[in-house]
Amino acid sequence: MLTRTHPKRSAASRRGVTAVEMALVMTLLALFIAAGFEMSRLMSLRQTAEHASYAGARVGIISGASANDVRTAAQVHLDALDIRDAVVEVTPATIQEETTLVSVSVTIPMAQNSWGVPNFLTTSLTGRSTLLTERAAMVMSESIAEMPSGG
């Protein structure tokens, strides 16, 4: 035996279920979209830290460069992308003619540079670059003993 339900009652209850389902799905969709934007910002900041450290190290390998020149070059790149409260460290602290390697580390705090919810992102991103100086080949060649002449 078939039973019939009232069509108006069925349609009204169905609309209510649809509205609840839509509210749940839209909330999750909005959450995933916001998380996607935040992850893209995270990757962008990571790349920015790497590139700023590389830009600073490139300035430091030139003869006559100082650690302050390196910090300035990295900071110019960070300022162009509106990165706040980044820390630029240069090793060695004083670049001399005998220096063969220049290392630059750029640390970007996520809390000050996040687009979304900064309270949940308390970590920092660090980019590091180490390059041989232009004068490294001359310094190294002076320390190598001369080859004996073959006879």
**0.95 cut: is pTM over it?**
no
- List, in order, residues 6 or more apart from 41 with CB less than 8 Å away: 113, 114, 115, 116
pLDDT tens string, the chain, 151 residues long: the values are 566 555 555 666 677 788 888 999 999 999 899 888 888 888 999 999 999 999 999 999 998 899 999 999 999 999 999 999 999 999 999 988 888 899 999 999 988 887 776 666 678 899 999 998 887 666 666 655 565 665 5
Q: Locate all alpha helices (DSSP H) within the chain, ordered by sequence.
A: 7-60, 67-80, 110-113, 136-143
Residue 92 pLDDT: 92
